[in-house]
Amino acid sequence: MKNLVTTDWLKNNIERVRILDASWHMPNSKRNALNEFLDSHIENANFFDLDETSDQNSLLPHMLPCKNTWETIVSKFGIKNSDHIVIYDNSDVISSCRVWYNFLYFNHNPNYVSVLDGGLKKWLKENKKTTKYNKIFSKSYYSAKENLAFVLNKNQINVNIQNKTFELIDARSAERFQGLQPELRRELKSGNIEGSKNLPFLDLINKTDNTFKNEKELKSIFEKLNLDTSKNMAFTCGSGVTACILGLANSIISGKTPVIYDGSWSEYGLK
């Protein structure tokens, strides 16, 4: 899988790929991702709204839509099954990884869906070109297939507490995982899923430019969790976004496709 591409690679291939800005911000951030996109974005990029492209019939945030809905959404962007898609963000929670995961779940070729390492932050730091012009593409006829093994539900999480067939890793901060910090959503209790381990997603990211740490560093960080390497891994977080950062990091190390608990703590932590 070509999980990550560099800013230089994107600059040199900008006319050969489809680019999506998947910026999403926490509700308390007081930032508007769409307005920021309209003000400045990478050339040829389209804005991919994580909220609007999720399941609109679910009370939980960011849940995967059904296959037909995903086909309709992606077709409106004019994206074809053969396109190499590069996803970036300008978000503190590196939301591009969630859209990367969504495309994998709906069976886009894993060699042709990538995250821009460092995102817009690194792109701007290098004084690379941005624009306000929003390029429109002709509608396509995108075909999807659901890879059901890539997603977990609450019942599967509960069964795993008893039989421990996979390691569950939580991407939230240590304070939230340990229940020392209240959740932003008032309907949620504090704490974690029994038997899960904590790996805050920020531990995987270089603070200077928002890039992922190198493969050797990532492997070392995972090893410090004392994971049972004979078991598969699955990832959870607050609402299914930052879990995908862990999923991408693991795919860099192992080549495995990420498995995500879609409901995450937004479902499991309901009072």
Q: Which residues are catalytically annotated?
A: 237
In the β-sheet with 18-21, what is the strand arrangement from edge to edge?
4-5, 113-116, 85-88, 18-21, 45-47
Within 8 A by CB and 6+ apart from 137, the residues are 18, 46, 77, 78, 79
Residue type at 106 in one-letter notation: F
Amino acid at 216: K
Count CA atoms closer than 13 A to 248's CA, side-chain side: 33
Closest CA to 156 of 50, 232, 239, 250: 232
DSSP letter assigned to residue 53: T
- DSSP designation for 173: -
Q: Quick one: tokens of 14?
A: 């900008």
C-alpha pair distances (Å), 91 with each of 22, 88, 260: 9, 9, 20
Q: Which residue spans within the chain are E strands per DSSP?
A: 4-5, 18-21, 41-42, 45-47, 85-88, 113-116, 130-131, 151-152, 166-170, 197-198, 232-236, 260-261
